[in-house]
Structures are given as structure tokens and as C-alpha cells.
Amino acid sequence: MKAVSLSRPQNSARLADYVILAKPRISVLVLFTVGIGVLLASLPNIPLAIFFHAVLGTALVATGASALNQWLECDSDARMRRTRNRPLPAGRMSSLEVLGFGVVCGVVGTAYLWLTLASPCAAILAAFTFFSYVCVYTPLKRITTLNTLIGAIPGAMPPVIGWAAVTGEVSPEAMTLFVILFLWQVPHFLAIAWMYREEYARAGLVMLPVTDADGSLTARQMILYCVALAACSLGPVLLGSASWLYVVGALLLGLTFIRSTIYFAVSPTVEQARRVLRASLIYLPGLLFVLFVDRSIHLLLIR
């Protein structure tokens, strides 16, 4: 009985470490946007089987990418307070174990999408996302400040994967979602990088806020991408897939996001960067929710 009681905490701790490898905060956002892609592509008849397969397969791919990201960044993670307790730098898992877990999740997730969906398009997009995140974005974090823009490409793929899971193609509507996610990530991640710029510098990661001492360039980039985001968020209207309800919601959310970046430009402090981060976390779910509601109402009215 004692052996059993001791094994339970150990098993729980082990499971917790695997959850950490999956980067649950990022994974939740990934799966949310995959689901939105499926819903927007399939309204009004939502195929639950496709929704399940797309979310599960992408979850495995995202978990694999996150694990391999931590495998490649073990040394830098060990130098940062916010990441040094991850399983690999803390010594709770071996390098080989994390590598194997990441590869298996990535391969199995891609194969799952290939085998369970009618078209291979979603699986191909997921494989591209996995490769570009692990093999391109992660190494570039030590080389150039452009890594944020490059990393925004795989970061913007989840809704496209969800869309392709339903339609088997990448349509203009799917590309609109890609552009929105791409532009949104820049101020979002710049805010995080400003908040932890000293830790990033200590870890040897080349983020824009690390090289931008007074924050002026970081602020300009935030404002520029937020303005571009507000403009491009109206893409669904131009494509005829959204109405005035979405326009009102998109503009209100966009102006609120832009305002937070302007405040940061006036006072580039950690607290103001945190407010930009909060605004970004309100903006994206809010925008996608408004788009979903707007399209649902439109389809109900024309039936």
C-alpha cells in the first residue's frame, strides 16, 4: 500500500511535466483558433467529427513543436527565471526523453490529420507549421530580431489548418484569418519581450526590446502593426462574409488595442507593456467571437 501511495504523487508530477512540455497557455490559443477555423468554414452545419479530428491532430503537432522548442532552448531556458523550472533545465527529464516525446507527437499528429480527414491539405499545413516553428523560428531567436516576424508565420497557421480540415483548400477567407493572426502576434510578443527583456538578454535571445534601450522602436512597431491589424481585420467585410455588426466590433476592439500601444509609446514601462499584453488577449478572442456571431446571424437570416 505504501508503494502505491508513493507512486501516485510521482505519476502526477510526471504528468505535470508533460503538460509543461506542451506549453498549455500557447496550446489553448492554438486549439481555440483551430476550432474557430473549423466553425467559420463549416457554418451553419458544423461537422463534429472533423472538429474533433482537427483539434486533436493539431494539439499533438503543437505539443511536439513545443517540446522540441524546449529541447533546443534548454540552455537559454536555464538562464531565465520564468523558464528555468521547466522539466529539461530543471533536470526532471532527460534530453533524449524530451526529444523523443516531441518527435513522436509531431509525427503522430500529422499522420492523424492525414488519415482522419478527407483531404491531406490540413496535414500538409500542420507539417509546415511544425517544421517552420522548430527548425526556422527557434534557431533564429539567437540570431536576429526578425525572429518575431518569422515566428508569426507558424503562429498564424492554426485557423488555416482548421479551415482546410473542412474545405480541403486554403481560400481567401482562410488567408484573411492568417493575416489577422500574423499581425496580432507582433505587438503581443513585443509586449512580452519588453516585460522580460533582461531575462532574454541574459539567455542570449535576440529580441527587439533587448536591443532597443529606450523602447521607441518597440513602440513604433507595436503601433504600426496594430494599425495594420485594425485595417486588415475588415477583410471579411470586403470578401462579403461579414456585416456591419462585425465592423463595429472590429473597430472598437482595434481602437482599444491601438490605444494601449500609444500609452506604451508615451511611457514604455513594464506595467504599460503588461497592459498591451492584456489588450491583445482581449482583442483576438473578442474579434473571432464577433466574427462567428456575425456570420451565424447572417446565415440564420438568409435561411
Q: Does the structure show a pLDDT above 60 at 3?
A: no
Query: Maximum Cα–Cα distance for the chain, whole Å?
Result: 66
pTM metric for this prediction: 0.93
Tell me, what's the pLDDT at 7?
A: 57
65: Cβ contacts below 8 Å, ≥ 6 apart: 102, 106, 129, 130, 133, 134, 154
> CATH top-level class for 11-169?
mainly alpha
Tell me, what's the pLDDT at 12?
A: 79
The Cα–Cα gap between 138 and 141 comes to: 6
4 pLDDT band, cuts 50/70/90, is very low
For residue 130, which of 114, 106, 108, 153 has the smallest C-alpha distance? 106
Residues 166-187 have pLDDT tens digits of 999 999 999 999 999 999 999 9
Give backbone dihedrals phi and psi of 45, rounded to 5 degrees, phi first: -105, 100
Residues 49-64 have pLDDT tens digits of 999 999 999 999 999 9
The Cα–Cα gap between 65 and 129 comes to: 9
Per-residue cell: 47: 461537422
- Section 95-111 average pLDDT: 97
138: Cβ contacts below 8 Å, ≥ 6 apart: 68, 69, 72, 73
For residue 207, which of 71, 90, 80 has the smallest C-alpha distance? 80
Is the distance from CB of 244 to CB of 252 less than 8 angstroms? no
Give backbone dihedrals phi and psi of 46, rounded to 5 degrees, phi first: -85, 120
- Section 81-92 average pLDDT: 91
Q: Where are the domains of the chain?
A: 11-169, 171-303
199: Cβ contacts below 8 Å, ≥ 6 apart: 79, 80, 81, 82
- Section 194-200 average pLDDT: 94
Is 171-303 in CATH node 1.20.120?
A: yes
Please provide the DSSP assignment of 227-265 as one string. Answer: HHHHHHTTHHHHTTS--HHHHHHHHHHHHHHHHHHHHHH
Average pLDDT over all residues of the chain: 93
How many other CB atoms are there within 10 angstroms of residue 195's CB atom?
Answer: 20
For residue 126, which of 210, 47, 59 has the smallest C-alpha distance? 59
The better pLDDT of the pair 10, 243 is held by 243
At residue 75's C-alpha, the angle toward residues 71 and 76, to 5°, is 100
8 pLDDT band, cuts 50/70/90, is low
Tell me, what's the pLDDT at 303?
A: 64
Residues 11-36 have pLDDT tens digits of 778 889 999 999 998 899 999 999 99
